[in-house]
Amino acid sequence: MPQIQRVTVWNEYRHEKTNDRVREIYPDGIHEAIAGPLRQQGFQVRTATLDDPLHGLPPAVLDQTDVLIWWGHAAHEEVSDDVVRAVVRRVWNGMGLVVLHSAHFSKVFKTLMGTSCDLKWREAGERERIWVVDPSHPIAAGLGECIVLEHEEMYGEHFDIPAPDELVFASWFEGGEIFRSGCAYHRGRGRVFYFRPGHETYPTYHQEDVQRVIANAVSWVGQAAGAAPVYGNHQPAERLSR
């Protein structure tokens, strides 16, 4: 039996407090909309938000988190560098990370990628088709050939990320742009998955196939990490002949 994964859903949680449209779609916050379906699937889920002390991510919480999900947009700069360092270290040490939508610009994701993570965007409520480009990947399990979102924000190439270790999804938008929308990475002993959709003024996280991708991603990035590598000056593992 695989161990039950302990998930922390982190949300900036600002738009829901100031924008009526967003509050209408996510009355309990985007974090609860993401956490609810995961709990139903048997994951052990807690939530944390920017305005909690230490952004809700003190060492005791991070230490007990197998998978962290991150949604942020307008307040990336308010996230403390100490918390960013602690999250990045946890990923290197084996914690899984699922980065959603506008968190492409979060300090955590930019630090792990080492690039600008910039992209094109347009808010016109256009149709998005998220095509599965790796049907053998566990994150695509149970999906059809593509997910259709009737109304989403457009993100377009070029997306300034390192080439993904595994590309699972690619999006097409009504306006003609394309985008690498499901990107999997290995960082140290940890796994990272970036999943594109989820603009706050559309009910994207209520859509079942989107919830399925997030649950699959949690399972994939939450796989137990291998033994901790030893670095630095090293005694020979075999006897040297001279």
Q: Judged by CB, which is closer to Zn ion: 69, or 91?
A: 69
Per rule CB under 5 A, count of chain residues that contact Zn ion = 3
**Options 102, 171, 181, 216; binder of Zn ion; rule CB under 5 A:** 102
SS3 state of residue 66: coil
The secondary element (H helix, E strand) that includes residue 81 is helix 81-92
**Options 55, 76, 180, 199; binder of Zn ion; rule CB under 5 A:** 199
Q: Which two tokens stand for residue 193?
A: 């998955």
Binding mask 155-184 for Zn ion (x = CB under 5 A): ------------------------------
Question: In this structure, which amino acid lies at residue 129?
Answer: R
Q: Judged by CB, which is closer to Zn ion: 49, or 102?
A: 102
Task: Tell me which residue of 98, 62, 67 sits closest to 82, measured CA to CA.
Answer: 62
Question: 120 has which bridge partners?
Answer: 156
Minimal distance in Å, beta carbon 155 to Zn ion?
A: 8
Task: Tell me which residue of 178, 161, 19, 174 sits closest to 103, measured CA to CA.
Answer: 161
In terms of Cβ atoms closer than 10 Å to its own Cβ (0-12, 13-18, 19+), residue 240 is exposed
Query: Could you say whether residue 216 binds Zn ion (CB under 5 A)?
Result: no
- Using the rule CB under 5 A, give the single segment among 24-32, 59-67, 94-102, 212-220 that binds Zn ion: 94-102
Q: For 233, left (φ over 0), alpha (ψ -120 to 50), or beta?
A: beta
- Using the rule CB under 5 A, give the single segment among 10-18, 81-89, 193-201, 221-229 that binds Zn ion: 193-201
Query: Could you say whether residue 153 binds Zn ion (CB under 5 A)?
Result: yes
Minimal distance in Å, beta carbon 153 to Zn ion?
A: 4
Q: Judged by CB, which is closer to Zn ion: 15, or 107?
A: 15
Q: Note whether 50 and 78 are within 8 A (CB).
A: yes
Cβ count near 208 (within 10 Å): 8
Query: Could you say whether residue 128 binds Zn ion (CB under 5 A)?
Result: no
Minimal distance in Å, beta carbon 28 to Zn ion?
A: 19
Residue ranges in contact with Zn ion by CB under 5 A: 102, 153, 199
